[in-house]
Structure 1
């Protein structure tokens, strides 16, 4: 969908060289917000969202690019990414009417049922929806010259610790930076490689040979799993389940811990993340408690989004953690030597616990799905957690 907005923009003083004469004091006023200008995308979204709201859509406060229209028992959902739109709903007549109104207001093109969107391939069946980035993965392998490499079963050597002072500095860091940037986008449908990509992205400023070797090993893993993606089950229960974990003082340079979480809707993964913590934790319990905070905030946001979708949230949401001390800190409001130095915002876990949104629950470390987001695991444990995460390969033989 492409359209110039009809919004007047603020004046600016960029003229072509030689247009002005010495002493002139003039400005331009654009009647149209042209592509390439800073305010163009903002003006376009403002015009599009205003038009949708005039059709009766309500804008989600959890995600401003998401719009919902309800008429009786029928619902229409619209998701926007710049000038690409996904539209779906429960009533085909109402859906077609909305599409006609959009096409009348803007110069658009209906390309039919959703099969490929922003590099993500979609396949439907009666069992559910399958999302993968097979073509995107093969392009990465082709550009890296590793299409003929031997595959490996897991993305990173177990217990590998990369640092910024070991190995020779790459003479040209551009290929490494380009590769890692493309791998970051691949994590949209590949949660199993999030931890490895997170580690590799920490050395973009000055990559060294060990970092490139680790990136090539990840590519070897992708060679054998190019068709893997996430499967969203059609008949899955609409119940949120959260897993959080932390690897205490895992960064050899800063001694900061790594946080990882994964949230499932029924048995389908809908949100996951790996991130280095912003401060150094004094104990593993503190590191795990901080991981619970991040997961709790994500659960809170997802509850708002589900509410706008009209999906009733079955609270409390089970928040699985494998650290008993962190669970005790969340349940016990008494300050003591272990918790008095923790920032106040971390105690959002207690607040949501008392509100009934979450229910912190103990889980065995061997069944902690979030382990795959915080540690480089061996083959057996990696494949075990990968299967629990809902990752599938529809192109693999049965």
Structure 2
């Protein structure tokens, strides 16, 4: 079994047969001018380390460059990227250098590849790309100060015999008091490793927490199905149906209820989508307590102690 990952002119090649890798590279080199850099240790700004515990992905070098570019290399570190009571800032003095703001937000989005715990904070500042203010820039500086204090943190991928595919789905109802929109997010684990996640604002106003949670459930389910198909194409089939965990009992009951009623008629498409998948038993929706809801970190501002606890569950470690 051989996999080749191609991004423009950069390639990662891995195989169950090490001799085949050598032959494959030699064959490619006869057609194209290649440079073999040996074992994987750096790819598109991502540092890769192989240890006895698994594969460690980090972006320490990339973060250092970002801190130097924003004059935050000597900033005072803090323990979380957001603060409680954070609200959207709709007015204020415009930022003189809007181009710098957009550039830094774009760089922070790239950092989320190995630092998923800042996804919620980055999504918040991304919402003001068009007309950033000085206050918005202060929010970015807090994220940079957090990265300064956790520059050595990285994402761990461990070898596991368990082939389960589990998604945590969550929504923060009316998380934005200025426009009453909700925030949804998910964390998707394959073999106990975080492989996909998201934090985004919902496009429409949810009229109840159940509606917000159910829309988040549909979004997480869509990603889970795509990942399931990808895993199948890679010839690593699952031994059990994927599981989606949500902390809203009403949303869970709604996924099993065959009757469309007053509470669900305005989310009819999402309703039918999840119910159809559940009926053929290709997906299982289960309840998880709010205390064990890992996706909380993608949907709302949490206290520092809980933030650090959820970060460790994402397998982000120093």
Q: TM-score, normalised by structure 2?
A: 0.97
Distance 1:235 1:161 in 2: 40
| Displacement of 1:272 | 0.2
| Displacement of 1:348 | 1.5
Alignment partner of 1:244: what SS? Answer: strand
| Displacement of 1:277 | 1.2
**1:348 correspondence with 2:276:** no
CA contact (8 A) 2:260 2:268 kept: no
* Aligned counterpart in structure 2 of residue 161 of structure 1, from 84, 87, 93: 87
Equivalenced residues, count: 318
| Displacement of 1:295 | 0.8
Match of 1:373 in 2: 298
**1:76 correspondence with 2:2:** yes
CA contact (8 A) 2:88 2:178 kept: no
Match of 2:315 in 1: 390
Q: How does 1:194-205 map to 2 (within 5 A)?
A: 194-205=119-130
Higher RCO, 1 vs 2 (CA within 8 Å, ≥6 residues apart): 2
Alignment partner of 1:158: what SS? Answer: coil
| Displacement of 1:279 | 1.5
Q: How does 1:1-398 map to 2 (within 5 A)?
A: 75-165=1-91, 167-235=92-160, 237-393=162-318
| Displacement of 1:345 | 4.4
Q: TM-score, normalised by structure 1?
A: 0.78
Segments of 5+ residues of structure 2 without an aligned counterpart are none
Extract structure 1 runs of 4+ deviating beyond 4 A.
none
Alignment partner of 2:267: what SS? Answer: coil
Structure holding more helix per residue: 2
| Displacement of 1:346 | 4.6
Distance 1:259 1:274 in 2: 6
Distance 2:266 2:248 in 1: 19
CA contact (8 A) 2:58 2:154 kept: yes
Alignment partner of 1:203: what SS? Answer: coil
CA contact (8 A) 2:56 2:157 kept: yes
CA contact (8 A) 1:321 1:362 kept: yes
CA contact (8 A) 1:243 1:370 kept: yes
Q: Which moved more, 1:115-124 or 1:269-278?
A: 269-278
Distance 2:271 2:130 in 1: 31
| Displacement of 1:316 | 1.8
| Displacement of 1:370 | 0.2
| Displacement of 1:94 | 1.8
| Displacement of 1:267 | 2.1
CA contact (8 A) 2:167 2:243 kept: yes
CA contact (8 A) 1:267 1:390 kept: no
Distance 1:210 1:364 in 2: 36
CA contact (8 A) 1:315 1:358 kept: no
CA contact (8 A) 2:184 2:202 kept: yes
Which protein is bigger by CA-based radius of gyration? 1
CA contact (8 A) 1:128 1:235 kept: no
